[in-house]
Amino acid sequence: MSFLIRETLVYAVPLMIVALAGVFAERSGIINLALEGIMIFGAFIGAFFIYEMQMNEVFVLQSGAANWGTMQMFVLLTMLVAGIAGAIFSLLLAFAAINLKADQTIGGTALNLLAPAFVLFFIRIIANQDDLRMYRGDAASWFMLKKSFFGLKEADGFFVNTFLNKVYITTYVCLLLFVLLSILLYKTKFGLRLRACGENPQAAASLGINVFHMRYAGVIISGFLAGMGGFVYALTTSNCVANGDVAGFGFLALAVMIFGNWKPLNIAGAALLFGLFKCMAASYSTLDLDGNGQYLLLNLSKDPVWGKILNANFYRLLPYLVSLIVLAFTSKKSRAPKAEGIPYDPGKR
Amino acid sequence: MKGFLKKSGTTSVLATLISILIGLVAGSVLILIVGIFDNKIGLSGAWDGIRLVFIGLFNTGRDASGVMTFGFNPANFGNMLFRAIPLILTGLSVALAYKTGLFNIGAAGQYLAGIAATLFVALEIPTTVVPAWIVWTLALLAGILAGALWGAIPGLLKAYLNINEVLACIMTNWIAANIVTWLFDLSNLKNVTEGTKTAYIYKTSFNGVETAKLGLDKVFAGSQVNAGILIAILFAIGVYILMTRTTFGFELKACGSNRHAARYAGIRDKQSIVFSMGLAGALAGAAASLYYLSGNPEFFWSTYQSLPAAGFNGIAVALLGACNPIAVIFTGIFMSMLQVIGSQITFLTPFNEYITDVIIAVIVYLSAFSLVIRMWISGRGKKKPVKPAKADAKKEVKA
């Protein structure tokens, strides 16, 4: 059970934070279809930053001296770097959508094409292959928090095993950011103004709000979160390998956002649901659900009758199928920001 | 000159050419930057790369002293025409949907559905019993049908359940990738006779099913070109006639520009949406069929982690051609030229084929605000009013 919760969080947290990224952009009136591309870019910059740090032997010294606190600071620093990279990358979308009144769907698609192309072009030149790996070791052993860091033992119970052992600090940083930014968006003056620009920009402008600035703010925050989310994804699920791909997580995050009806609490719930399905797909064969030492799902997949359906292929298909079904049931009620996707024209009423 | 620049046709062609030029320059700048900062590559390596970006189609390799030579290269031309087949057809798929107000980002999934249906038909029907040309035709029809059905799903979801077609397409893409992997996993079409090729499906030529070459391979010696390119062009002309000369096409377009007005005029809007997406899917399925039926390409069946690039390149082809079916023929060939250049760059320089993807992405980015570029061009045509127009634009930004 501890394993299931831990793994679900690993998948749910990037989805959650990237879905919030989508909310910030859409609430300000810009459809950010480029989340996937920004994640890919953030993942690359993050992985490249760690690669360079390792090349310059900064890391080896610290890990040799077992300075795990410093190591965690490195992770935080890399998150910041990846986030800033994402924010800069998202400026391309902001410029096209806000200044040039471009079609936001096409602009986002262009960034989704640009990110993997750009990233793979450089990865091939840097690493002479199609993925950029860490220079040394793997993310799990270098950056995981383990219970021994806190002087705790196996016997210390469920809470310790679930939330303090073999977890990443990124999970907690993202959860904290998620809460803080949700408060920013819903309980502050800035958040109210930002949301006004996504509902009725002309009315907002008539009250002295600068719609251009607000939309830029929305997209930049969105880019920061998506870039950071991309790095978190790469760090926690693929050992910090950047390969110009985040397996559709950016788009899944968009689905989570719509399923969550653009509201943080619903989004958190939706992300956990999808995280659970993703977790099942990735590790169904080692899930011990009832703690009796039997892997129920693995046994099912070996069953001559059930195994025809309930196998690896099925679990990999499940998150996408479920999101489509869930969308089918929720989209009638869904309430998107009114002005999203419409370029702001001050002369219009 | 004034009137010539004012024509909407001229301005969109000019806007496209300018977008292409900016894209190529952007790629060159990227190559130059890498050349400057990477001592191993240096400026001479960068110069090689930049020349290939612009005129790589005419590259004939390197001579004995390692200097690049240029001239007519029939293999490059033939391969350009061959690779243009799926690009033109997926481009048509996206263009048709776009003209009817839908953004078909699901061409990749429809392409996969087409691959699966085509390969199953082409490989499972023994050519010892049924003549090869009948199998070929059936396989093409199967691919088209599978693509159409897969494309109709997001159409149905959009029309009846109000799900955004972009999201529905993305989800059906990944579902297709998983289902196709699953189907081939169960099948006995996995290539086991050639030991080095794991996770590949047999070529259709194993069953003697291949697109006719019509002597094109003699004209472009050493290339993979076949009659598929002619079929693709016929499809483009067909789509053009459908969209501009038939009532059905008009209904689809009317529904795209204003669904409610179309319904008021007696057009069944929900059915139109499903038809649009179905037709778009059929074109993407045809793209997959004609590509794999050429006999040579091998399909990597364990594809659940990635989507075929053909679907997304179709978006670029369509947008660059302003979603005009005839223009899509040319932009499709242009994109395949970039792909040929990409492989030249990988073979001959320290750079790699992804530079052409960067160029394509830049061009798509520019096409997002092609309207601005067009306005800028027609603004150039008028001599006097240029300055006031610019001043107005500035005021608008400040306001």
Nearest to B231 by CA among B271, B286, B309: B286
Compare B153 and B372 and report the one with higher pLDDT. Answer: B153
> A151 CB contacts (<8 Å, ≥6 apart)?
none
Residue with tokens 């099942």: A280
pLDDT tens, per residue, chain A with 349 residues: 777 888 888 899 999 999 999 999 999 999 999 999 999 999 999 999 988 888 887 776 666 666 777 888 888 999 999 999 999 999 999 999 998 888 888 899 899 999 999 999 999 888 888 888 887 777 777 788 777 777 776 666 777 777 777 788 889 999 999 999 999 999 999 999 999 999 989 889 888 899 999 999 999 999 999 999 999 999 988 888 888 888 888 988 988 888 888 889 999 999 998 888 888 887 777 766 666 666 767 777 777 777 777 778 888 888 888 888 888 887 777 777 888 878 888 777 6
Residue B396 has pLDDT above 60, yes or no: no
Residue B111 has pLDDT above 90, yes or no: yes
Among all residues of chain A, which has the CA nearest to that of B35?
A: A125
Residues of A in contact with B38 (CB under 8 A): 125
Compare A69 and B37 and report the one with higher pLDDT. Answer: B37
Residues of A in contact with B364 (CB under 8 A): 106, 109-110, 113
- Hey, are the CB atoms on B312 and A100 less than 8 Å from each other? no
Q: Which pLDDT value is given to residue B305?
A: 79
- Hey, are the CB atoms on B365 and A114 less than 8 Å from each other? yes
Residues of A in contact with B358 (CB under 8 A): 114, 117-118, 121
Out of B157, B174, B315, the one facing A109 most closely (by C-beta) is: B315
Q: Which pLDDT value is given to residue A65?
A: 64
Out of B166, B179, B351, the one facing A33 most closely (by C-beta) is: B166
Interface test with B, best of A317, A318, A344 (most B CBs within 10 A): A317
Compare B91 and B197 and report the one with higher pLDDT. Answer: B91
Residues of B in contact with A317 (CB under 8 A): 175, 178-179, 182
H-type alpha helices, B73-164: 74-99, 107-124, 132-161
Give the dihedral sign, CA B285/B290/B294/B296. negative
Q: Is B31:B50 a contact under the CB 8 Å cutoff?
A: yes
Q: What is the mean pLDDT of residues B335-353?
A: 89
- Hey, are the CB atoms on B351 and A106 less than 8 Å from each other? no
Residues of B in contact with A103 (CB under 8 A): 368-369
Which residues make beta-bridge pairs with B190?
Answer: B201
Among all residues of chain A, which has the CA nearest to that of B311?
A: A113
DSSP B226-256: -THHHHHHHHHHHHHHHHHH-HHHHHHHHHH
Mean pLDDT is lowest, of B59-73, B126-140, B271-285, for B59-73
H or E element in which residue B336 lies: helix B325-348
Q: What is the mean pLDDT of residues B155-165?
A: 89
Coil, strand or helix at A295:
coil
* Structural domains of chain A ordered from first start: 2-330 (1.10.3470)
Q: Which pLDDT value is given to residue B393?
A: 42
Interface test with A, best of B30, B304, B369 (most A CBs within 10 A): B369
Q: Which pLDDT value is given to residue B84?
A: 94
Mean pLDDT is lowest, of A137-141, A187-191, B26-30, B308-312, for A137-141
pLDDT in tens, A295-330: 767 777 777 777 777 778 888 888 888 888 888 887
Q: What is the mean pLDDT of residues B326-338?
A: 93
Interface test with A, best of B31, B170, B302, B343 (most A CBs within 10 A): B170
Q: Which pLDDT value is given to residue B296?
A: 80
CA distance A183 to A186: 5
* Structural domains of chain B ordered from first start: 2-72+371-398 (no CATH), 74-348 (1.10.3470)
Q: Tell me what the pLDDT averaged over chain B comes to.
A: 85
Burial of B69 (0-12, 13-18, 19+ CB in 10 A): exposed
CA distance A340 to chain B (A): 13
Coil, strand or helix at A132:
strand
Interface test with B, best of A32, A121, A310 (most B CBs within 10 A): A121
Q: For the packed helices B42-55 and B8-37, what is the interaxial angle rounded to 10 degrees? A: 160
Q: Which pLDDT value is given to residue B385?
A: 44
Q: Which pLDDT value is given to residue B2?
A: 55
- Hey, are the CB atoms on A117 and B360 less than 8 Å from each other? yes
Distance of CA A222 to the CA centre of its chain: 11
Compare B92 and A151 and report the one with higher pLDDT. Answer: B92
Burial of B393 (0-12, 13-18, 19+ CB in 10 A): middle
Q: For the packed helices A189-199 and A211-237, what is the interaxial angle rounded to 10 degrees? A: 100
Q: Which pLDDT value is given to residue B394?
A: 42
Among all residues of chain A, which has the CA nearest to that of B164?
A: A331
Q: What is the mean pLDDT of residues B321-350?
A: 90
Long-range contacts of A266-271 (CB under 8 A, 24+ apart): A267/A16, A267/A19, A267/A20, A267/A23, A268/A16, A268/A178, A270/A19, A270/A326, A271/A12, A271/A13, A271/A15, A271/A16, A271/A19
- Confidence tier at B4 by pLDDT (50, 70, 90): low
Q: Which pLDDT value is given to residue B101?
A: 87
Q: For the packed helices A249-259 and A264-283, what is the interaxial angle rounded to 10 degrees? A: 140
Question: What Rg value do the Cα atoms of chain A yield, rounded?
Answer: 21
- Hey, are the CB atoms on A324 and B157 less than 8 Å from each other? yes
Residue B75 has pLDDT above 70, yes or no: yes
pLDDT in tens, B354-364: 999 999 999 88
- Confidence tier at B109 by pLDDT (50, 70, 90): very high
Coil, strand or helix at B120:
helix
CA distance A270 to A329: 14
> A258 CB contacts (<8 Å, ≥6 apart)?
A327, A330, A331, A334, A336, B164, B167
Residue B194 has pLDDT above 90, yes or no: no
Q: Which pLDDT value is given to residue B381?
A: 56
pLDDT in tens, B196-230: 667 788 888 778 788 877 777 787 877 888 889 99
Coil, strand or helix at B114:
helix
